[in-house]
């Protein structure tokens, strides 16, 4: 689990580092001489190559390790739920909501829902939070005034994104 968490944190930090590398590349390409521009371009190309390899490895380990973790959690929940179903008295199974078909559906769908929530969504949240924290930290280091403006504007951007998603979902319901 700890390796998956580390991979998620590394993956969250790569977005901010990519912006940092890009900004240093832009300033490096504005150098006075052709030799300095070539050196800067080569350095930035190597940095982005290394960053892409790190991102690929972190993504692989994040998906793999959180997948294993969520599968183990799903299996444990299924075993516990099945054991509790088997310990019920015979009369409990006579109720309509406790029919064998209903119970097997619960075993399949509810546990799969837990698997989806734990495996991917939590990893994405951890990655997003770390990316946001590192981005704010880097922003405060380089220009605290612009970072404060970005922090004030961020909720408006999130609201606009939410409204766009709601509108698109509304359109898809109208089309169906």
Spatial distance between the Cα atoms of 54 and 67, rounded to a whole number of angstroms: 19
Residue 26's pLDDT is 83
**For the segment 102-129, what is each residue's pLDDT rounded down to a tens digit?**
888 888 887 777 777 777 788 888 888 9
pLDDT at 54: 94
Render pLDDT for 80-95 as a digit per residue (tens, 0 to 9): 888 988 888 888 888 8
On whether the CB atoms of residues 100 and 93 are closer than 8 A, the answer is yes
Report the number of distinct structural domains present in the chain: 2
State how far the Cα of 116 lies from the Cα of 158, in Å rounded to an integer.
24
Cα angle at 135 between 52 and 167, to 5 degrees? 90
Same domain, 131 and 150: no
Q: How high is the pLDDT of residue 68?
A: 87
Q: Are 98 and 40 within 8 A, CB to CB?
A: no
pLDDT confidence of residue 108? 81
Whether residues 138 and 153 share a domain: the answer is no
Q: Are 134 and 12 in contact (CB under 8 A)?
A: yes
Helices (H), 87-143: 100-116, 122-142
Question: Could you list the residue range(s) of the whole structural domain that residue 101 is in?
Answer: 2-142
Largest CA distance in the chain: 87
pLDDT for position 2? 83
* 50 and 101 together in one domain: yes
pLDDT value for 176: 53
User: Alpha-carbon distance 162 to 165, whole Å?
Assistant: 5
Residues 126 and 158 in one domain: no
Q: Are residues 86 and 156 in the same domain?
A: no
Beta carbons of 74 and 123 less than 8 angstroms apart: no
Q: Give per-10-residue mean pLDDT for the chain (176 aa).
A: 86 89 83 82 91 94 87 87 87 82 82 76 87 90 91 92 86 58
Q: How many CB atoms lie within 10 A of CB 65?
A: 20
Q: What is the distance between the alpha carbons of residues 6 and 117, in angstroms, rounded to a whole number?
A: 19
Residues 130 and 160 in one domain: no
pTM, two decimal places:
0.72
């Amino acid at each position: 689990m700890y390796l998956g968490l580390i991979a998620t944190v590394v993956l969250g930090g790569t977005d901010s580092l990519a912006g940092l590398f890009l900004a240093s590349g832009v300033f490096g390409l504005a150098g006075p001489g052709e030799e300095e521009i070539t050196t800067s371009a080569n350095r930035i190309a190597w940095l982005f190559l290394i960053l892409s390899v790190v991102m690929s490895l972190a993504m692989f380990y994040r998906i793999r390790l959180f997948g294993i973790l969520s599968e183990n959690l799903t299996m444990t929940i299924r075993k516990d739920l099945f054991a509790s179903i088997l310990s019920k008295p015979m009369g409990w199974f006579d109720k309509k909501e406790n029919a064998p078909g209903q119970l097997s559906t619960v075993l399949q769908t509810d546990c799969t829902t837990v698997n989806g929530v734990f495996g991917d969504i939590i990893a994405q949240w951890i990655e997003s939070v770390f990316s946001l924290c590192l981005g704010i930290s880097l922003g405060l280091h380089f220009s605290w005034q612009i970072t404060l403006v970005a922090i004030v504007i961020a909720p408006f951007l999130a609201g606009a994104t939410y409204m766009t998603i709601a509108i698109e979902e509304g359109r898809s319901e109208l089309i169906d």
